[in-house]
Amino acid sequence: MTTADPAETEALQALEKGTQALEDGDISSAKKHYARAVDVQPSAGALFNLGVASYHLHEYEDAIAAWKRSIEMQPSADAHTSERFGL
């Protein structure tokens, strides 16, 4: 029998809510949910998405910082390209 890690569950739920908000065009809400996921249990995916939301909000320094942290956790061509070119 495995027991789910409550922090992991909360982080995944926040990540899913962020993705739904992003798909709905609510970038500010998406950023809030991605930031929560990172606060609860940082992951490369949550950091990458936090960077995307920050970028769309024209918060470029925050976006680059999130992408750099994402790369440190798990090297990714998407995160590296985004960080390098400020995309």
Q: For residues 13 and 8, give the distance between their C-alpha atoms in angstroms, rounded to a whole number.
A: 9
- Where residue 74 falls among pLDDT bands split at 50, 70, 90? confident
What domains can be seen in the chain, in order of their start residue?
Answer: 8-85 (1.25.40.10)
Q: Please, what's the b/e burial string for 4-19 (b: 16 or more CB within 10 A of its CB; e: otherwise)?
A: eeeeeeebbebbebbb
Q: What is the pLDDT of residues 5-62, one digit of tens each?
A: 899 999 999 999 999 999 999 999 999 999 999 999 999 999 999 999 999 999 999 9
